[in-house]
Structures are given as structure tokens and as C-alpha cells.
Chain A
Amino acid sequence: DVKVTQSSRYLVKRTGEKVFLECVQDMDHENMFWYRQDPGLGLRLIYFSYDVKMKEKGDIPEGYSVSREKKERFSLILESASTNQTSMYLCASSLYGLAGAYEQYFGPGTRLTVT
């Protein structure tokens, strides 16, 4: 079974803190993604990575950065957390495919509250 794990289920941080969200997958997937989920807005892509050390901006990258030093690990960084970054953060991974789109497998999510 594909397994995507995230470092925390719940996290509470103060405004201005630097926040690290970690994601690890065990299926040797090339692609990894970070989304945030907010009520009424569905899932929105923050960043994705298609290879080690490679990263690309998604739809809402402002205020975030990412790091992928190893294939199995993809980190999301909030350089200076703000209250509008309070959200559910979901990590996902998928196979790489020039021929088509593969399903993404999701982690359990991290509910981040910034006070």
C-alpha cells in the first residue's frame, strides 16, 4: 500500500514563527505536492516537485517555500507564519508520467492554526 505520512496532525504556532511541515512517502514516487484545503475553496496547489531538488510554484505559493533534498521527503516551510495561513495542509505523491496523469496519494493532513 502507498503510504504518505505527515509529521503532525495538529499544529499551533504563533504569528511570525517559522513553521516546517514534513511529508514522507514510501512508494518511490517522483512527484510530490503540497495543497491547502479551506472550506468552500476545495484543494489549492501550493508547490510541487517532480524530482529531487526540483520545485515549481503552484497556484498559491506566496508566503511558502519548499525543500526536496531526498526523493521520499518533501517539506513545506512557512517563513513567517500569518493568521491567514491557518488551514489544513495536505501532502500528496504520484508516479511521474509523460504518457498520462496518475492518481495522487494523500497523507492524513496537518491542521495548522496560527494565533
Chain B
Amino acid sequence: AQKVTQAQTEISVVEKEDVTLDCVYETRDTTYYLFWYKQPPSGELVFLIRRNSFDEQNEISGRYSWNFQKSTSSFNFTITASQVVDSAVYFCALSESLIQGAQKLVFGQGTRLTINP
């Protein structure tokens, strides 16, 4: 079965520090997708990124970057120059194929990130 582990339950840093959220996954699928979601205090999960298992290029979007390493089954997320608005719970997720083309997402337990001013 698919499994996602986010070993860091909580992280607290001071504003402008860089912070990396770890995500390690287990899968027997050769093709799969990885995702990151942000859940701010308002509660709604916000989609951040989707990455195909065949594409190991790192991705950067503003202050956000993602490092996908198939060899270590990791998909880590780095926030550069963190800001208070980055405070949220972050979830890593892995796709799992179901019947009829539907895909289920298996979520990690989440990492609560607090950015202190």
C-alpha cells in the first residue's frame, strides 16, 4: 500500500529564515504523482504542486521550491525567506490508482509550520 511520511510534526522558525519540509513516500507503482497542499488557519486545503514520477527536475515558484529524488523516495519542500503568511499545516500526498481511472490521494500526517515575526 502507498504510504507518506512527514516526520516533522511541527516546525517553528523566525521570519526570513529558510525552512525545508520533508516528505518520504513508499509505493509499488512505477507511475505515480506527488502533491503538496497548504492548509492555512482558515481550514481550506490549497493545492501547491503536482509532480509526475517521471519528471525529477526540481521546481521553483517564487519563494517555494521542491526537490524530488526518486532514489531516496523523497519530495521535499523548501520555503526561502519565510514570511508570517506561510504559517500553515502542509501536507504531502501520493497518488494511488483506483478503479475506473479514479485516483486516490494518500496524505501524510502534515507538518505544522509556524513563522514567528
Q: B-contacting residues of A (Cβ < 8 Å)?
A: 31, 33, 40-45, 48, 50-51, 54, 56, 58, 88, 90, 92, 94, 96-98, 100-109, 111
Interface hit among B11-19, B70-78, B79-87, B91-99 = B91-99
Which listed residue, B44, B46, B102, B103, touches A56 by the CB 8 Å rule?
A: B102
Q: A-contacting residues of B (Cβ < 8 Å)?
A: 9, 31-33, 35, 37, 42-47, 50, 52, 91, 95, 97-105, 107-110
Closest A residue to B9 by beta carbon equals: A40
Which 8 residue pairs spanning A and B have beta carbons closest together?
A: A101-B95, A101-B103, A106-B45, A101-B33, A98-B101, A50-B102, A42-B107, A43-B107
The binding surface of chain A is classed by DSSP as strand
Contacts of A105 in B (CB 8 A): 47
Closest B residue to A40 by beta carbon equals: B109
12 residue pairs bridging A and B, Cβ less than 8 Å apart? A42-B109, A48-B98, A48-B104, A50-B102, A56-B98, A98-B101, A100-B103, A101-B33, A103-B35, A106-B45, A108-B42, A109-B44
Q: Are A104 and B105 in contact (CB under 8 A)?
A: yes
Closest B residue to A51 by beta carbon equals: B100
Which listed residue, B32, B43, B97, B104, touches A45 by the CB 8 Å rule?
A: B104
**Smallest Cβ distance from A56 to chain B, in angstroms?**
7
Contacts A104-B47, A106-B44, A109-B44; A43 near B101 (Cβ below 8 A): no
**Smallest Cβ distance from A50 to chain B, in angstroms?**
4
Which listed residue, A31, A41, A43, touches B102 by the CB 8 Å rule?
A: A31
Contacts of B45 in A (CB 8 A): 90, 92, 106
Contacts of A100 in B (CB 8 A): 31, 33, 52, 103
